[in-house]
């Protein structure tokens, strides 16, 4: 066991890259927090949508439902793309965009 660990440490030092487990966690949490923030902002913008666009309650609910439907459709599409090109790679591309 010690030999395998020492060999792994040597390979990491030789390549110049040290393992950073917190970097992956930070990337994952930033992506999830963006999703939560995006969903929250739609609900926060409801009063300004009502006043700026002169909408009634049913129209605002339609806007909110349309956002949820588009989000669900894109989520299914993103899942399929993640299966095709790799989830990690696709997540990194989406986080950068």
pLDDT digits (tens, 9 = 90+) for 71-93: 889 989 989 999 999 988 988 88
In sequence order, which residues have a C-beta less than 8 Å from that of residue 91 and are 6 or more positions away? 27, 28, 31, 82
Q: Count other Cβ atoms within 10 Å, centred on residue 6.
A: 10
Q: Which residues of the chain have pLDDT under 50?
A: none
pLDDT at 39: 79
pLDDT at 86: 92
Q: What is the mean pLDDT of the chain?
A: 80
Q: Model-level pTM? A: 0.59
- Looking at 16-56, list the stretches that DSSP marks H as alpha helix, in order from N- to C-terminal side: 21-44, 46-53
On the CB side of 64, CA atoms within 13 Å amount to 18
pLDDT at 63: 86
Listed by start position, the domains of the chain span 22-96
Cα(80)–Cα(17) distance, integer angstroms: 32
């Amino acid at each position: 066991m010690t030999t395998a660990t020492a060999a792994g440490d040597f390979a990491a030092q030789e390549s110049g890259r040290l393992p950073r487990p917190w970097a992956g966690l930070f990337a994952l949490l930033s992506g999830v927090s963006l999703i939560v923030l995006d969903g929250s902002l739609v609900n926060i913008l409801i009063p300004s949508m009502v006043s700026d666009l002169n909408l009634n309650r049913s129209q605002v609910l339609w806007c909110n439902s349309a956002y949820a439907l588009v989000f669900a459709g894109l989520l299914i599409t993103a899942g399929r793309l993640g299966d095709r090109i790799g989830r990690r790679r696709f997540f990194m591309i989406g986080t950068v965009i």
